[in-house]
Amino acid sequence: MRNDRLKPIPREFYSASTGVLFAHCIECDKNLLDGDTEYLIEKAVKNYPGYDAQDTIFDYAICLSCAHQMHSKMSAESLNKIQDYFNENIDFAHKQQLMEQGQAEMMTQTCMIKGTPRDGSSEFQLYAHCKGNQLVMGNPPYMISGEAMEEIIELLSESTKDELGGFFNKHFSPDPDLFENPTPKRLILV
């Protein structure tokens, strides 16, 4: 089985506000569904313990070109610390095993860093690499728990936090009830 195969994008990666596939890059408005455009989807979700309910805090799609521009604005120190954190905390052998067994979708059910199940996380973020209306399974979708996101935020320089906060403020006007404070703790392009 090839790791770079494509699969239809599951509904969990559709826009929460429209219920359909993301059609345009949040940053440059490029058409994402033309078949050749690669892009990333990020979705932050809040669970309500004790209830079978959740809210999407934010979701968006960004073309790889704009995502690379965002990464280039992050400090080298932050990028190095994030890379080291992932290298130290992700079980890449397990990830590869899931891919080889055709179970890559399991990486969206538990935090790829902490192993925490989705329903055991008060917040989590989902990520997907897409091309047109397909998932790129060579880099399968994954989930990161709020606990892991908190650790990642601590690694960021102030300039990187400012950059991510500026991106968030430019594109989203969140419900204040969903945020304890207006820091960009839920926005990381990984």
SS (H, E, C) 86-117: HHHHCCHHHHHHHHHCCCHHHHHCEECCCCCE
Residue 14, C-beta contacts closer than 8 angstroms, at least 6 positions apart? 20, 21, 22
pLDDT at 9: 92
Q: Return the number of other C-beta atoms located less than 10 Å from residue 169's C-beta.
A: 13
d(CA 75, CA 15): 30
The beta strand positions in 1-100, using DSSP E, are: 6-8, 38-47, 54-63
- Region of 29 please: left (phi>0), alpha (psi -120 to 50) or beta: left
* Residue 122 in tokens: 């008060």
Tell me the pLDDT tens digit for each residue of 33-56: 987 899 999 999 998 877 788 899
Query: What is the tens place of the pLDDT at every residue in 87-101?
Result: 999 877 777 777 777
Look up residue 76 and give its two tokens: 């080298």
pTM: 0.84
